[in-house]
Each structure stands twice: as structure tokens, then as C-alpha cells.
Structure 1
């Protein structure tokens, strides 16, 4: 599966979805879907705008999930979900 690193790029560059939307014309719902990795597809023009905005190659924006490294926040969210599941199983 292909993963989008947009969430990590936003954190590293300390920008907001609004900053990107204003600069690129990409809608916030599109950005959110890419950040969550639940987009069903992506236009080439969107890819190009994001690569230009962050001054990166497409290989830095889209990666194989075999090479994808979750952000610290994603790792923390995963641990919280595991703890919640364990707690519910104990009750």
C-alpha cells in the first residue's frame, strides 16, 4: 500500500492545513484525507502542488508502507488505542 507523508511534512515544516490550502488551492478536505491516508485517489496536479509547496520530490510525499515510518503522534495514538482495547477487555 502507498502512504502519504503529508502529516509528517506538516509537522516538520510547522505549517497548517490552512497555510497549504491558501498557498496551493487544495481544499482542506483533500488535505485531511491525504493526512489520514484515506484518500481513494489523488490528482497529479495535487501531487505537483504539494511537491512544489514543500520543495520535495514525489518519492518523499508518497512512499510504500514498507518504508513508511509513522510520526511520533501516530505512534502515540496507536499506543493509546491499544491501551483502550486492553482496558475494555479487562472490564
Structure 2
């Protein structure tokens, strides 16, 4: 299972879904799906934009849990 830490990162940076959408140019629905951990797939460009925004690595955004 893959766990997404977007909600935690957004909380640490005091950002809302609309803030992330505005800063990254990503669709609001894409961010909401990741935030709620209901996304079935993630575009590499979306991952890159989120990592740029939060100044983090992919492993800070996603974690594989056995």
C-alpha cells in the first residue's frame, strides 16, 4: 500500500487545497484525491510539482507500507 503524506505537508505549511492548486497549477480534484488518499494513480509531473512546492523528495511525499 502507498501512503500519501500530502495532508501532513499541507498542514505543516498551513496550506489549503486551493493554495496548492494555485501554486502548482495542478487540478483541484487531483490534489483533493491525493489529500484524501483516494487517488488511483499519480502523474509524474504532479509529483514533481508537489515536491518543488514543499521542497521535499518523493519519499517525503509518498511511503510504501507493507
TM-score bracket relative to the smaller structure: over 0.9
The count of corresponding residues between Structure 1 and Structure 2 is 66
Determine the C-alpha separation between the residues in 2 that align with 1:35 and 1:3. 10
Determine the C-alpha separation between the residues in 2 that align with 1:26 and 1:5. 17
Structure 2 counterparts to residues 2-41 of structure 1, below 5 A? 2-41=2-41
| Larger relative contact order (CA 8 Å, sep ≥ 6) | 2
Normalization by structure 2: what TM-score? 0.94
- Which protein has the larger Cα radius of gyration, Structure 1 or Structure 2? 1
Higher helix share: 1
Structure 1's consecutive aligned runs of 4 or more residues displaced over 3 angstroms after TM superposition are none
Determine the C-alpha separation between the residues in 2 that align with 1:16 and 1:4. 16
Distance apart, 1:65 and its partner CA: 2.9
What are structure 1's unaligned runs of at least 5 residues? 67-91
1:50 paired residue number: 50
Which secondary structure state, in structure 2, belongs to the residue aligned with residue 56 of structure 1? coil
1:65 paired residue number: 65
Higher mean C-alpha displacement, 16-25 vs 47-56: 16-25
What are structure 2's unaligned runs of at least 5 residues? none
| Cα root mean square deviation, aligned | 0.9
